[in-house]
Amino acid sequence: MDKDLRDAGDIEVDSGNDIQNGAIGGRSEISKSVENLSTDHRIKKKAKRGVVRQLSKDSTPSSHNVVSARRSWKNTRRPRNGRGRGLPKKGGAGGKGVWGKPGSELQEEDVDMNDPNYESDSLDNGDIELKTIIPETSVDEIRKHTESIVLEYYEHGDADEAIVAFEELDIAEKNLIIQFAIEIGLDHKPSHREMTSVLISDLYTHMVNQRDIASAYDWLLRNLPDLMLDTPDAPTVLGNFLARAVADDCLPPKVIQQFKEKIQEEHAQASLHRAETLLSMKHGLVRLDNVWGVGGGLRPVKYLVRQMVLLLKEYLSSGDVQEATRCLVELEVPHFHHELVYEAVLMTLEALSSSVEEAMCRLLKSLCAAIIITPDLLELGFLRVYEDMPDIIIDVPLAGSVLERFVEQCHAAGFISDDLVKKMPTRGRKRFVSEGDGGRIKDHKLAV
């Protein structure tokens, strides 16, 4: 069949020459030769033509017919217009989610004069000068920061660290620091007020001056009625703060007289009178170092024992449980409350009075209910009495029976455990030789 096709091709070429030469019967001869081909040698399927795609404009067509796969040509990145060298578009800076070439963020951008956002004023000419502007801190923010710094200072007690924290805030109105620190001290215990006075004294040498401190006290004296809503004894406490500031040379003594002339409010006058009285005492400046008392952990043990004994004696005479509780809390020695239990039980044994037993039981029950005396400290105080019973009985022979009665009363009140009752020592009695044995000494042997 290939041979016949080649013959047909030759015939077709010859017919073309005949047409060019003017021959009229060439077309009929070609049609006859085609009809003479057998049906078995006919092409049943149309062959695909070879497609030659030129990849470049300047490239020469290949002599070989190459058929390219449609899928590979579809996914290629080369341009279909016959131009280009097959490189990525935009030098690799194009595509979805791409902001430029890798590493282009490190290059300086060129200033485009035609950019609509371009400003002719340049920083290099010196026409524009940039300055750092720190926004002013509001009063509420100063109060918040001061409270956090002061409360943290109460925990670690390092005034230098608190001063560094205040300096980092860069507060313009320094008097607000003193004002808010004293307000916080009004709501805390005496030991914290002592730490506040020390902090004010240290701030005076670093951040604030006399005018800032005087301005803070002036505001506090004028707003005493509002401060008394939270702290009823605010006039007395503020008078102590003012006298301590004068004693620490943070304020001159004449400032009290100046406040008296400017502020005529009743509570402010009482506070100023309190400060003036403290300063006018003999050796007042020296005594003002302990105007808030000494911290609980720094006091001698004998002093604490003496204060607890006086507390119990005043309670027995007045019967005021709340006043006794307040005095115990002001000592600020929660770890030493077992001494109060010991002294209370010892005083009960020495009194030999049922009224004293009831009063002491009522006091201990109230302190345990308020969790001022913890169960472990209560047990420690009773165990100390149990251990000292041989020596106590020498001075108080009836101490054993009184102890049993008092322990049973406390157990009935519900603040003593059964184990503590079982640990109570039993009363022993000496047996004389003449009792029931005719004067004969018994041989103490255990029966097996």
71/370 Cα distance (integer angstroms):
87
Amino acid in the structure at residue 99: W
Report which of 235, 268, 272, 224 is spatially closest to residue 251, judged by C-alpha positions: 272
329/382 Cα distance (integer angstroms):
21
Residue of 395 and 284 predicted with greater confidence: 395
Residue of 349 and 78 predicted with greater confidence: 349
- pLDDT of 442 > 80? The answer is no
288/278 Cα distance (integer angstroms):
7
Which tokens sit at 217?
A: 């006290």
Tell me what pLDDT residue 427 has. 65
Which tokens sit at 235?
A: 């006039």
In order, the DSSP letters of 239-294 are HHHHHHHHHTTSS-THHHHHHHHH---HHHHHHHHHHHHHHHSTTHHHHGGGTT--
Tell me what pLDDT residue 12 has. 43
CB 234 within 8 A of CB 188: no
**Structural domains in the chain plus CATH codes:** 139-289 (1.25.40.180), 301-423 (1.25.40.180)
N-to-C CA span, the chain: 135
Lowest mean pLDDT among 62-71, 90-99, 199-208: 62-71
DSSP state of 234: H
DSSP state of 134: P
pLDDT in tens, 253-299: 999 999 999 998 999 999 999 999 998 887 767 778 778 876 666 67
CB 308 within 8 A of CB 339: yes
Other CB atoms within 10 Å distance of the CB of residue 1: 11
* pLDDT, mean of residues 91-117: 72
Q: Which helix (H) or strand (E) holds 228?
A: helix 224-230
| Contacts of the segment 359-365: beta carbons below 8 A, 24+ positions apart | 359/315, 359/316, 359/319, 360/312, 360/406, 361/406, 361/409, 361/410, 361/413, 362/321, 363/315, 363/321, 363/324, 364/410, 364/415, 365/410, 365/413, 365/414, 365/415
Q: Which helix (H) or strand (E) holds 8?
A: helix 2-21
Residue 36's pLDDT band, with cuts at 50, 70 and 90, is low
- pLDDT of 122 > 90? The answer is no
Lowest mean pLDDT among 7-16, 221-230, 334-343, 404-413: 7-16
Which tokens sit at 39?
A: 């049906």
Residue of 154 and 441 predicted with greater confidence: 154
Other CB atoms within 10 Å distance of the CB of residue 8: 15
Tell me what pLDDT residue 119 has. 67
Its pTM surpasses 0.75:
no
Tell me what pLDDT residue 93 has. 73
